[in-house]
Amino acid sequence: MRWGELALAAGYRTGRVCRTVKEVSSPLAEIEGLPGPHPVALHIGGGETPPRVTSAHSDAEVRARFQAAATEPRKDDLP
């Protein structure tokens, strides 16, 4: 994805993409003190995808927890 172009299309004043940590210094120095916003995206290294939070629970457990939370009365719903 072309994040810099996406940022400009979304109305940001600038949009930069850095591929290394060393590259981050330059765009940060360029935008310092300028009115923003200025997104600066940094590619992070690949590797193993961490396990999903829900991987510790079965589908049935996730569904039951969601249903319980969805039907539980909220404090702001009480008279």
Give the 3-state secondary structure of residue 40: strand
Question: What tokens were used for 55?
Answer: 């991987």
pLDDT at 44: 77
pLDDT at 55: 76
pLDDT at 79: 57
pLDDT at 77: 59
E strand spans, the chain? 16-18, 40-42
pTM equals 0.48
- Measured distance CA(20)–CA(25) in Å, rounded: 10
pLDDT at 7: 87
pLDDT at 72: 78
| Greater pLDDT, 66 or 53 | 66
- Measured distance CA(70)–CA(34) in Å, rounded: 45
